[in-house]
C-alpha cells in the first residue's frame, strides 16, 4: 500500500513561492534550504522568488541563481505592491499541484514543508503554520496574540489563531484564490473563506535572519485595519450600538434635567463648559462613525477602480513557456 501511494505521488509537483523585499542576503540561504528539503520529498518541484521591487541586491542574487538552476523562477514587479500581491503573483504562474507560501526573510522555516507535505498526502487541502512562539519583544508578542483573538471574535469566518501566510495550498485552493477578482487581498482570511479541509502545524517563528524588519507599529496597525474591514462587519455594528447608547443616554439625561429643575434646580449644570463638553463628545462620536464608514467606502473605491493588483516587469525561467528540446 505504501509503495502504491508513493507511485501515485510521483506525478505530483510542489511549487514554493517566496515573497522577497530587502531579502537579498537571505535569498541564497533560502534557496539552499529549500532545495535540500524539496529534494527529500519524492515529487518534482519549482521555486518561485517574487522580487517586489526590492531596492537591495535581490535582482543580482536572483540572476545568479536562475542562471544556474532552471527550476528556479524569478518574478520582478515594477514597484512594491506588498507581500499579499507578491504571493498572488507567484500563485498565478505556479504550476505545482501544491503551492507553499513563505516569506523571504527566513522567518518561515523551509524544513517544515516536509510536515506540510505529509499532511497534504493525508488529505488536507490547506496546511498552515501556527506560531506557538515568536522571537520578538514582549510588547509585540502580546500585540500579535491580542490581534488574532480580536480578529477571530469579530470576523464572519473562523480565522485560525496565530496563523500567518506560511502554508501549503492544494491546487484546488490556489485556483479558487486566483479566481477571486478583489484587490484588497488578505490571504489568511481568503484562505479560510474558501473552506476545504484545513489543519495547522505548530512552529517557532525566529527573528529576521538579516537586516531589520520592514514592519513598524503603523504598518501592523494598517494590517489589522485591512484584515478587520475585509472580513468583519463588527465596526458597522459598533456604530449601531453607539447610536442606540447615545440616544438612550440622551433620553435619560433629559429626564434627569426635568426632574432636577422641578425638585432641585440648584443642582442643574449651567455655563458654557457643559455645552462645550457635550459638543466635543457628540462631535467626536460622529467623526469616529464617519471614519469607520469611510474605511469601508475606501475599500469599495479601490475595488471598483479595477486596477491590477500588481504589474510584472519580467519573469526569468517562466514555467508556462514551452521548453525547447535540444537536437541530438
Residue 260: helix, strand or coil by DSSP? helix
Per-residue pLDDT of the chain (328 residues; tens, 9 = 90+): 444 444 445 458 999 999 999 988 999 999 999 999 999 998 899 999 999 999 989 999 999 999 999 999 999 999 999 889 999 999 999 999 999 999 988 888 999 999 999 999 999 999 999 988 776 677 777 877 888 788 888 888 888 888 888 999 999 999 999 999 888 888 888 999 998 999 999 988 877 767 666 666 677 777 777 788 888 888 888 888 888 888 788 788 778 777 877 777 766 666 666 677 778 788 888 888 888 888 888 888 888 888 888 999 999 998 877 665 544 4
Q: Could you tell me which of 55, 43, 93, 54 has the C-alpha nearest to residue 72?
A: 93
Backbone angles phi, psi at 18, to 5 degrees: -120, 120
Q: What is the pTM of this model?
A: 0.80
Q: Can you name the residues that pair with 50 across neighbouring β-strands?
A: 19, 75
CA angle 210, 211, 217 (to 5 degrees): 120
Report CA 169 to chain centroid distance, whole Å. 14
How far, in Å, are 40, 228, 318 from residue 2 at the CA level?
Answer: 17, 44, 34
How far, in Å, are 10, 75, 158 from residue 201 at the CA level?
Answer: 24, 29, 17
Q: 226 is written with which cell numbers? A: 485591512
Quickly list DSSP for 264-288.
-GGGS--SHHHHHHHHHHHHHHHHH
Determine which helix (DSSP H) or strand (DSSP E) holds 321, and give its type and residue range.
none
Say which residue the cell 530587502 belongs to. Answer: 22
Q: Could you tell me which of 186, 17, 190, 189 has the C-alpha nearest to residue 92?
A: 17
60 Cβ contact list (under 8 Å, min separation 6): 24
Amino acid at each position: 500500500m505504501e509503495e502504491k501511494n508513493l507511485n501515485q505521488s510521483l506525478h505530483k509537483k510542489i511549487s514554493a513561492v517566496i515573497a522577497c523585499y530587502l531579502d537579498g542576503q537571505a535569498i541564497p540561504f533560502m534557496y539552499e534550504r529549500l532545495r535540500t528539503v524539496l529534494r527529500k520529498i519524492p515529487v518534482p518541484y519549482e521555486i518561485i522568488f517574487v522580487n517586489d521591487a526590492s531596492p537591495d541586491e535581490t535582482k543580482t542574487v536572483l540572476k545568479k541563481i536562475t542562471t544556474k538552476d532552471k527550476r528556479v523562477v524569478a518574478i520582478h514587479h515594477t514597484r512594491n505592491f506588498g507581500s499579499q500581491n507578491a504571493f498572488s503573483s507567484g500563485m498565478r504562474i505556479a504550476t505545482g499541484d501544491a503551492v507553499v507560501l513563505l516569506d523571504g526573510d527566513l522567518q518561515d522555516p523551509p524544513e517544515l514543508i516536509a510536515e506540510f507535505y505529509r499532511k497534504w498526502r493525508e488529505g488536507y487541502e490547506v496546511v498552515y503554520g501556527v506560531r506557538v512562539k515568536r522571537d520578538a519583544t514582549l510588547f509585540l508578542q502580546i500585540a500579535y496574540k491580542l490581534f488574532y483573538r480580536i480578529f477571530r471574535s469579530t470576523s464572519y469566518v473562523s480565522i485560525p489563531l496565530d496563523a500567518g501566510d506560511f502554508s501549503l495550498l492544494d491546487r484546488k485552493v490556489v485556483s479558487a484564490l486566483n479566481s477571486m477578482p478583489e484587490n484588497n487581498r488578505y490571504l489568511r482570511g481568503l484562505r479560510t473563506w474558501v473552506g476545504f479541509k484545513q489543519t495547522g502545524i505548530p512552529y517557532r517563528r525566529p527573528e529576521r535572519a538579516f537586516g531589520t524588519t520592514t514592519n513598524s507599529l503603523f504598518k501592523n496597525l494598517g494590517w489589522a485595519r485591512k484584515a478587520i474591514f475585509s472580513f468583519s462587519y463588527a465596526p458597522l455594528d459598533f456604530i449601531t450600538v453607539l447610536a442606540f447608547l447615545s440616544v438612550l443616554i440622551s433620553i435619560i439625561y433629559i429626564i434627569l434635567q426635568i426632574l432636577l429643575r422641578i425638585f432641585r434646580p440648584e443642582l442643574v449644570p449651567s455655563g458654557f463648559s457643559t455645552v462645550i463638553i457635550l459638543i466635543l463628545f457628540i462631535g467626536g462620536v460622529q467623526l469616529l462613525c464617519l471614519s469607520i464608514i469611510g474605511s469601508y467606502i475606501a475599500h469599495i473605491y479601490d475595488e471598483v477602480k479595477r486596477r491590477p493588483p500588481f504589474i510584472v516587469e519580467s519573469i526569468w525561467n517562466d514555467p508556462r513557456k514551452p521548453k525547447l528540446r535540444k537536437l541530438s
